[in-house]
Amino acid sequence: MKKLIQAGAAAIALLSSTEALAAIKVMTTTQDLASIVAEVGGDKVAVESIAKGYQDPHFVEAKPSFIIKLHTADLLVVVGRDLEIGWLPPLITQSRNPKIQPGGAGYFDASQTVKILDMPTGPVTRAMGDVHPSGNPHYWLDPGNGRRIAQAVQAKLTAMSQADAAYFAQRYADFDRRLAEAETRWKAAMAPYKGAKIVTYHRSWTNFADAFSLDVIGYVEPKPGIPPSPRHTLELEQEMKRQNVKILLVDPYFDMKTPNAIGRDTGAKVLMMPPSVGGVPEAGNYIALFDYDINLFVSAMKQAGTQ
Ligand SMILES: [Zn+2]
């Protein structure tokens, strides 16, 4: 019995030492980033996300369990553009991990190489209530940006583990090929709705609308992060009726009271669409998220009788 326990302990020690050698420990703030890191990193990375896809990424509960995970991370990948500013900084500080502090070798801001929309032209601060003061942080909802993130992740992982350069290059190339095939499929499905006028709750679908040529004519929130007001809602409803808007897109974590009222008043279909991997079980990875959302959107447009 004693021998067996010793053998078991030796096996565990061996297992943990090979695991430690094999995998770069990556934490990401969102599941979208975790999915892209997993695509490129394969079994050379162990990746976990802090926020779940069904949570509003602007407002995530800073659980102490994340501090422990961040403490041992080799790399932290963030969305940036102030998306996580309300909850991430204390977690990073309390992790006492010098590698992942902003500016450290293990801190990686995925927004640096992507296409950013809604860049403020005048002075905007969070004090004014706008939670998008550094441009729109929901940029992963453009598949072109997904590719740019994957490319930047490939470069970062290669810099961290030169011996695996060819492996990461091959993984990136494979993801790029599958994403390109999927984009052809998505563009074809969305082609009949080019220029379709929609309204969204939050400014979270700006990059999606840009990628698939939708025309967002208004928002339920008067400003990003500011809850709907009766006066703004009334004006929005008038505009929706005037422009015959058929679809109101709502991220699943928002209060449905105002969107449902707008739907009743204007006849628009209220469509709850997950903006992140993990938002629904079917959206289990980055490509599956677009498959799910585009299928949902196209069905809703057909039901609304536009095609
Ligand atoms: Zn936002």
CA of 56 to the centre of ligand 1 (A): 8
159 by Cβ neighbours in 10 Å (0-12 / 13-18 / 19+) ranks as: exposed
Q: How far apart, in whole angstroms, are the C-alpha atoms of residue 195 and residue 199? A: 13
What confidence score (pLDDT) does residue 18 get?
47
- Which of helix, strand or coil describes residue 272? strand
138 Cα to the center of ligand 1, angstroms: 6
To the nearest whole number, what is the mean pLDDT of the chain?
A: 92
Counted residue by residue, the chain has a size of 307
Nearest CA to 149 out of 105, 110, 181 is that of 110
Residues of the chain under the 50 pLDDT cut: 1-2, 4-5, 8, 11-12, 16-20, 307
Give the helix/strand (H/E) hosting 57: none
Q: 237-241: list long-range contacts, CB under 8 Å, 24+ apart.
A: 237/262, 237/265, 237/266, 240/199, 240/266, 240/268, 241/266
| Ligand 1 centroid – CA 168 distance (Å) | 31
| The pLDDT value given to residue 3 | 52
The pLDDT of residue 62 = 84
pLDDT of residue 190: 98
The pLDDT of residue 1 is 45
Structure confidence at residue 121 (pLDDT):
81
Q: How far is the CA of 165 from the centre of ligand 1 (A)?
A: 35
How close is the Cα of 12 to the center of ligand 1, in Å?
44
**R_g of the chain, CA atoms, integer Å:** 22
C-alpha 163 to ligand 1 mean position (Å): 38
Residue 114 identity (one-letter amino acid): V
At residue 232, the pLDDT reads 98
Question: Ligand 1 mean position to 52 CA, how many Å?
Answer: 15
Task: Provide CB contacts within 8 A for 95, sequence distance 6+.
Answer: 67, 70, 71, 73
92 and 76 Cβ atoms separated by less than 8 Å: yes
80 Cα–ligand 1 center, Å: 11
CA of 250 to the centre of ligand 1 (A): 12
